[in-house]
């Protein structure tokens, strides 16, 4: 079968989509002889035209061919074309059944993710200072392609950081105990192997921890404009009119290089292990093979780097707020609500056909969403459920949700990660010609600043699906439930 990734994405998907319910569609295993399980996509009628216009569903079918895959190849409503896996793709493989790990199921930006910080500030406290606040953030926080920052780690220190994650920064006085406890996995994925990270990756990451980067990464000042679940909002420390800060970034050049190195080193693994794949971008190796363990060790190290990157970004944001508002960040109540990973493969215990199994869960542009009572949720949130943070575009909204009661059974404890692109960056830039995106956003009440004109053009609101629709789908599917809607006030981008 020809590689699906070699087919232009704009040809659309003509295969079968069978309706399971109002927000779930099936690509039946019978669609292709190499599929081992069904494909399942969470979407509703509003998203169906976009779903049909993109070849991403074919990637869902491709992933259904992976050795050891369990239940189904899944995709969230923010689905769009990606490398190997679609963005929004989820797949769990069983190492005991020959299950594989695939770098394409994690992506180039390992542990790209978001963290949301609360404040004690109200909208009226910030509104008069919003422009100087956003412009000071742009001056003080490194943003843009290739930008380095003030936190420079020699190779030995960088290896310690990748081994220990955010607790390492705590020992340096750059994180509080609360910051550690409110980060997914407490900011440290176990069994990281920094020694598996190449010298080239170390060099790229030496001065990029604490930098935003470019593309869809950002720092956004927001206000809570609606509370949907008062009880969960109270548990999360959220209220209407409250100012929050959302940070979106990942593992920068270090993570990109780890992925690049892995794709190169795994090139011959499928032939070595007798794996037949529909797309070379799904290059993989058995989880328990030397190649699989090597990639997982390096990926975990890069994931810990990403947790630290967002921690250092938050530390700098606190400093800017303190400088502009003339008060310490502690007195401003700038505390971390939660930090979640979007691009990662984690070994987790899930029930399959009534039996608990250790599975390798790939989440590519997807958020962990464990329900109330799960032991991996911080104690403070355990009675409520895991906080889930869903960024939208910079002109509309973002959402705080909570892990839903059906997530473990339906999606291995996973939900969407954002609005999802509906326009490529090239198309978005073309659509922005002759327009001033910054001025358009300002007329809508959002102060946007970027290092480049292209940064705003590529990320204009029209390039994304409506996050309210995407969130509504996962809410109705029981994957994650609405808690509060946050409206953007100001944003900085690369």
Residues noted as catalytic: 417
450: left (phi over 0), alpha (psi -120 to 50) or beta: beta
> Considering only CA atoms, which of 238, 286, 217 is closest in space to residue 458?
217
Q: 10 Å Cβ neighbour count for 213?
A: 26
| C-alpha distance from residue 361 to each of 11, 36, 94, 347 (Å) | 30, 17, 9, 6
Q: Tokens 């190849």 appear where?
A: 73
Task: Please report which helix (H) or strand (E) contains residue 309, including its range.
Answer: helix 290-325
User: Crossing angle for the helix pair 290-325 and 252-265, nearest 10 degrees?
Assistant: 170
- Give which of 95, 411, 82, 392 is closest to 259, Cα–Cα: 82
CA distance 371 to 386: 6
Please list, in sequence order, all residues whose beta carbon lies within 8 angstroms of the beta carbon of residue 90, skipping any fewer than 6 positions away: 73, 74, 75, 76, 361, 362, 363, 364, 366, 411, 412, 414
* SS3 per residue for 179-216: HHHCEHHHHCCCCCCHHHCCHHHHHHHCCCCCCCCCCC
Name the phi and psi angles at 286, rounded to 5. Answer: -55, 140
Distance, CA of 86 to CA of 80 (rounded, Å): 6
**Rounded to whole angstroms, how far apart are CA atoms 266 and 104?**
11
Burial of 6 (0-12, 13-18, 19+ CB in 10 A): exposed
Query: What whole-number distance in Å separates Cα of residue 319 and Cα of residue 417?
Result: 28
Helix (H) or strand (E) holding 138: helix 130-140
Selection from 92, 139, 87 nearest residue 109 by Cα: 87
Of 107, 96, 108, 99, nearest to 66 by C-alpha is 99
What's the gap between Cα 159 and its chain centre? 23
């Amino acid at each position: 079968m020809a590689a699906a990734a070699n087919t232009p994405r704009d040809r659309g998907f003509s295969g079968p989509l069978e309706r399971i319910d109002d927000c779930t569609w099936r690509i039946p295993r019978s669609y292709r002889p190499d599929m081992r399980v069904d494909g399942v996509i969470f979407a509703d009628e509003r998203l169906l035209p976009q779903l049909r216009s993109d070849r991403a569903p074919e990637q869902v079918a491709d992933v259904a061919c992976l050795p050891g895959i369990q239940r189904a190849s899944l995709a969230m409503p923010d689905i769009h074309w990606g490398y190997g896996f679609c963005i929004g793709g989820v797949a769990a493989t069983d190492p005991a059944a020959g299950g594989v790990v695939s770098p394409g199921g994690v992506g180039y930006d390992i542990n790209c993710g978001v963290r949301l910080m609360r404040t004690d500030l109200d909208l009226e406290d910030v509104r008069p200072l919003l422009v100087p606040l956003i412009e000071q953030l742009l001056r003080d926080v490194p943003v843009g392609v290739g930008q380095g920052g003030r936190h420079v780690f020699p190779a030995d220190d960088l290896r310690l950081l990748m081994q220990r994650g955010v607790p390492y920064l705590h020992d340096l006085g750059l994180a509080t105990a609360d910051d550690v406890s409110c980060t997914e996995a407490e900011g440290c994925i176990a069994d990281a192997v920094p020694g598996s990270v190449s010298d080239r990756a170390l060099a790229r990451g030496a001065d990029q921890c604490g930098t935003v980067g470019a593309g869809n990464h950002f720092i956004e000042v927001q206000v809570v404009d609606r509370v949907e679940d008062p009880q969960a909002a109270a548990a999360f420390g959220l209220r209407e009119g409250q100012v929050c800060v959302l940070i979106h970034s990942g593992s920068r050049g270090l993570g990109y290089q780890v992925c690049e190195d892995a794709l190169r080193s795994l090139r011959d693994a499928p032939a070595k292990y007798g794996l037949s794949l529909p797309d070379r971008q799904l290059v993989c190796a058995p989880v328990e093979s030397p190649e699989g363990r090597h990639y997982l060790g390096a990926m975990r190290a890069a994931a810990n780097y990403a947790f630290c990157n967002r921690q250092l970004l938050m530390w700098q944001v606190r400093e800017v707020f303190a400088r502009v508002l003339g008060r310490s960040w502690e007195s401003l109540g700038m505390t971390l609500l939660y930090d979640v990973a979007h691009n990662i493969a984690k070994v987790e215990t899930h029930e399959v056909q009534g039996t608990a199994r250790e599975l390798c869960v790939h989440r590519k542009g997807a958020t962990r969403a464990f329900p109330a009572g799960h032991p991996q949720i911080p104690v403070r949130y355990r009675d409520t459920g895991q906080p889930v943070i869903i960024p939208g575009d910079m002109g509309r909204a973002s959402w705080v949700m909570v892990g839903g009661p059906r997530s473990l059974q339906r999606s291995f404890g996973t939900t969407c990660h954002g609005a999802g692109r509906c326009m490529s960056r090239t198309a978005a830039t073309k659509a922005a010609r002759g327009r001033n995106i910054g001025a358009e956003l300002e007329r809508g009440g959002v102060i946007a600043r970027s290092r480049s004109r292209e940064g705003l053009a590529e990320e204009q609101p029209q390039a994304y699906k409506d996050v309210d629709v995407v969130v509504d789908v996962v809410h109705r599917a029981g994957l994650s439930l609405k808690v509060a809607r946050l409206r953007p006030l100001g944003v900085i981008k690369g």
